[in-house]
Amino acid sequence: MSHSHRPLTITKLKNMKQEGVPISMLTAYDYPSAKLAEEAGIDLLLVGDSLGNVVLGYETTIPVTLDDMIYHTKAVARGAAGTFIVADMPFMTSRVGVETALRSAARLMQEGGAHAVKMEGGREIADEVAACVRAGIPVMGHIGLTPQSVHQIGGYKVQGKLEQEAERLLADALALESAGAFAIVLELVTEPIAEKITNRLSIPTIGIGAGRHCDGQVLVFHDLLQYASPYREKRFVKTYADIGTTIRDAIGRYVGDVKQRAFPEQRHAFEAATAAQSKDEAMSLYGGQDGRKTP
Residue 98 — φ and ψ, nearest 5°? Answer: -65, -40
Task: Mark 74-104 as b/e (b = at least 16 C-beta within 10 Å).
Answer: bbbbebbeebbbbbbbbbebbbeebebbbeb
What does the chain come to in residues?
295
Kind and range of the H or E run holding 187: strand 183-187
The active-site residue, picked from 120, 128, 177, 187, is 187
* CA angle in degrees (0–180, nearest 5) for 70-233-164: 75
Within 8 A by CB and 6+ apart from 120, the residues are: 89, 94, 142, 143, 146, 147, 148, 149
CB of 53 closer than 8 Å to CB of 61: yes
187 belongs to the catalytic site: yes
What is the chain's alpha carbon radius of gyration, rounded to the nearest angstrom? Answer: 22
CB of 114 closer than 8 Å to CB of 108: yes
Q: Rounded CA gap, 46 and 85, in Å?
A: 6
Sign, Cα dihedral of 189, 77, 30, 21: positive
Q: What is the β-pairing status of strands 139-144 and 84-88?
A: unpaired
Q: How many CB atoms lie within 10 A of CB 213?
A: 16
Residues with catalytic function: 187
